Amino acid sequence: MHEMSLMAGVFDVINKTIAPYPNAKVTKVILVVGALTNAVPDALQLAFEVFAKGSPVEGAVLEIQEVPLKLKCDECGWEGPVDIYQPVCPKCRSFNVGVIAGRELLIKSLEVETDGD
């Protein structure tokens, strides 16, 4: 379950972000996850809850925004979403394609409450 290691990285970023605010309480995290991460949303949610326990993130809402695999064909110029298991241009059938979306794993938004410190 590689979602645990992915979430460990997410929590590294969260902890560094809130470190200057000792009484911070995270209320919501929006996570953007590309198809090529092969991350399962339910497993990410479970990993989030494990890492959040006993931390300023405990009780926060995790919103996962999934990004499909999107390619650009270097032969015919076609751009669009494709099946992750068939990374080929649907227009000209070329394998000469580049990924333009679907690799993402990033925190889009972090909502934090502080007591004014």
Residue positions forming the annotated binding site: 2, 73, 76, 89, 92
Six-digit token string for 36: 């090529």
What span, in angstroms and rounded, lies between the C-alpha atoms of 91 and 73? 9
Residue 67 sits at φ, ψ, to 5 deg, of -115, 120
Find where tokens 């890492």 sit: 51
Annotated binding site for Ni(2+): 2
What span, in angstroms and rounded, lies between the C-alpha atoms of 76 and 36? 23
Annotated binding site for Zn(2+): 73, 76, 89, 92
CA–CA distances in Å: residue 5 to residues 27, 47, 111? 22, 9, 22
